[in-house]
Amino acid sequence: MTENYRLSFDRAEMQIDAIHAFLVQSYWAEHIPLEIVERAVAGSLCVGTFGPGGEQVGFARVVTDRATFAYLADVYVLGSHRGHGLAARMVTALHDHADLQGLRRWMLATSDAHGLYAALGWTAVEDSEPFMQRHFPDVYRRPRQ
């Protein structure tokens, strides 16, 4: 069944409106403005999954310096296309991407997909002491200045 789906790294193929429509309803990017999605896609290494009709049904992106570090973000597959291993396919394609070889650290944050990532070699941060963050969970609800 996965042969009916196509992956692409071509940023020009990413359907920003479709990506935005999903992200704006996600638990991690609720209320995200379209222009922020456009900037995020423009500044990231992205992979999209496209269905038989050419519609974008999945997306993932990596924020990276392409030398030492990568942050995996915004991984999703539309509900009606889940169960075909598409998220794993996208993440594996990113793992295997030529620009992302030899990185010292990959990071991600998830509330509900630990099993998916564990199956792909990801582990929990055992010693979180060195890690810090600046987190603004309501940033998309505040008026922009």
| pLDDT score at 141 | 85
Label the pairing between strands 69-77 and 105-107. parallel
Averaged pLDDT, 31-46: 98
Q: Is 56 left (phi over 0), alpha (psi -120 to 50) or beta?
A: beta
Per residue in 57-87, pLDDT (tens digit) is 999 999 999 999 999 999 999 999 999 999 9
Given the candidates 3.40.630.30, 2.40.128.20, 3.90.1300.10, 3.30.70.920, the CATH classification of the domain at 2-122+133-141 is 3.40.630.30
List pLDDT tens digits, range 88-109. Answer: 999 999 999 999 999 999 999 9
Residue 145: band (very low, low, confident or very high) from pLDDT cuts 50, 70, 90:
low
Determine how β-strand 56-64 pairs with β-strand 45-50: antiparallel
What Cα–Cα distance (Å) separates residue 109 from each residue in 26, 41, 74, 135, 142? 14, 18, 10, 12, 23
* pLDDT tops 90 at residue 1: no
Distances in whole angstroms, Cα of residue 143 to Cα of each of 28, 62, 135: 18, 27, 17
Q: How confident is the model at residue 3 (pLDDT cuts 50, 70, 90)?
A: confident
Predicted model pTM: 0.93
Mean pLDDT of 22-35: 96
137 pLDDT above the threshold of 70: yes
Q: With contact defined as beta carbons under 8 Å apart, do 89 and 49 qualify?
A: yes
Tell me, what's the pLDDT at 77? Answer: 98
Q: Is residue 40 classed exposed, middle or buried when 0-12, 13-18 and 19+ CB atoms within 10 A define those classes?
A: buried
Higher pLDDT, 2 or 71: 71
Q: Name the E strands within 32-113.
A: 45-50, 56-64, 69-77, 105-107
